[in-house]
């Protein structure tokens, strides 16, 4: 493979076995790949970030022939970054077939459909999930459905909080194209980042939607936030998520810089 060193191989192998890593884990993995095989691991953060991008680009250039790619995603919960090894050739849900039975995938499809088409908040409750099991060709017991939810939560396909189920970080990354192509009329794109937006804030008078972290980024420091969609300009009537969320959400590579800035501020 072109330009692939042993450090790249170690990086790919880790992604192949884990599938999915958050920004902090990627940073540590990159460091240990460099150290193990004597690649330069630069002290300067900005330069190191550039090298990491090049490193991943080299990998992706080689993985493309297998229709795979290491792709970056952003959590709808807090805007944090995560990375997954994604199969680009087939973005259908049935691709998960090796881990789940056909009937389980049917239920997951119905859950995805409910979240995208029916739900305004990007969530579904457990009672609604049980109702969906009744629409399956082959019935599934409540216990089996609960079991499935637990397994899918472990695999990061879904997220469960206070009994509400939403799509997990992995589903957002891997199923974005599937959702956009199957539900073009219901799936909404965030006005700021242009990515699929299931959870977030919607304008009171048009269909403009923003992720929580994108609203926070867009309206930071504004006294009277207005809808960013061209021709609308309606007052944005939602509480803007606090700035801490945005600070936390910034790429891990920038975290050190933030803490340095804060320390510097304190010294003044």
Select from 84-92, 101-109, 155-163, 224-232 the region that touches Zn ion (CB under 5 A): 224-232
Closest by Cα among 39, 55, 50, 70 to 3: 55
Nearer to Zn ion, 74 or 148 (CB): 74
Verify binding: residue 208, Zn ion, rule CB under 5 A.
yes
Tell me the DSSP string of 189-218: B-TTT-SB-SSSEE-SSS--EE-HHHHHHH
CA contacts within 13 A on the Cβ side of 64: 7
Nearer to Zn ion, 125 or 228 (CB): 228
Cα separation of the two ends of the chain: 52
CB of 243 to Zn ion, least distance (A): 16
Nearer to Zn ion, 158 or 210 (CB): 210
CB of 222 to Zn ion, least distance (A): 15
Q: Burial code of 242-251, b = ≥16 C-beta within 10 A, e = fewer? A: eeebbeebbe
CB of 75 to Zn ion, least distance (A): 11
Select from 25-33, 152-160, 171-179, 202-210 the region that touches Zn ion (CB under 5 A): 202-210
Verify binding: residue 209, Zn ion, rule CB under 5 A.
no
Q: Cβ(110)–Cβ(119) under 8 Å?
A: no
Q: Angle at Cα 231 formed by Cα 229 and Cα 233, nearest 5°? A: 65
- State which of residues 96, 203, 240, 245 lies at the interface with Zn ion (CB under 5 A): 203
- State which of residues 52, 112, 158, 214 lies at the interface with Zn ion (CB under 5 A): 214
> Per-residue x/- mask for Zn ion, residues 68 to 87, rule CB under 5 A?
--------------------
Q: Angle at Cα 155 formed by Cα 104 and Cα 119, nearest 5°? A: 65
CB of 193 to Zn ion, least distance (A): 3
Token look-up 């330009």 returns 3
Verify binding: residue 31, Zn ion, rule CB under 5 A.
no
CB of 225 to Zn ion, least distance (A): 11
Indicate the SS3 state at residue 119.
Answer: coil
- State which of residues 4, 136, 193, 252 lies at the interface with Zn ion (CB under 5 A): 193
Indicate the SS3 state at residue 10.
Answer: helix
Element (H, E) at 91: none
Nearer to Zn ion, 193 or 252 (CB): 193
Nearer to Zn ion, 11 or 82 (CB): 82
Closest by Cα among 174, 180, 212 to 89: 174
Nearer to Zn ion, 12 or 74 (CB): 74
| Residues near Zn ion (CB under 5 A) | 190, 192-193, 203, 206, 208, 211, 214, 227, 229, 232, 234
């Amino acid at each position: 493979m072109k330009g692939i060193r042993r450090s790249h191989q170690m990086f790919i192998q880790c992604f192949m076995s884990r599938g999915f890593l958050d920004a902090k884990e990627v940073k540590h993995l990159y460091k240990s790949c460099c150290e193990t095989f004597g690649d330069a691991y630069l002290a300067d953060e900005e330069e190191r970030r550039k090298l990491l991008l090049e490193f991943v680009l080299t990998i992706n250039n080689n993985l493309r022939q297998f229709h795979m790619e290491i792709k970056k995603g952003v959590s709808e919960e807090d805007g944090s970054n995560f990375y997954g090894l994604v199969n680009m050739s087939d973005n259908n849900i049935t691709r998960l077939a090796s881990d789940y039975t056909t009937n389980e995938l049917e239920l997951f499809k119905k859950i995805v459909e409910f979240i995208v088409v029916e739900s305004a908040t990007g969530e579904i409750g457990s009672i609604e999930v049980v109702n969906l099991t009744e629409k399956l060709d082959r019935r599934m017991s409540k216990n089996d459905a609960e079991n499935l939810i637990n397994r899918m939560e472990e695999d990061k396909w879904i997220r469960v909080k206070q009994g509400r189920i939403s799509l997990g970080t992995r589903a957002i990354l891997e199923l974005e194209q599937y959702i956009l192509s199957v539900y073009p009329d219901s799936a909404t794109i965030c006005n700021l980042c242009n990515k699929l937006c299931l959870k977030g804030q919607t304008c009171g008078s048009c269909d403009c939607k923003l992720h929580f972290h994108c609203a926070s980024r867009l309206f930071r420091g504004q006294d009277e936030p207005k809808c960013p969609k061209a021709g609308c300009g309606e007052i944005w009537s939602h509480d803007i998520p606090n700035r801490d969320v945005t600070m936390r959400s910034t790429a891990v590579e920038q975290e050190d810089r933030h803490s340095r800035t804060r320390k510097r501020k304190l010294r003044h």
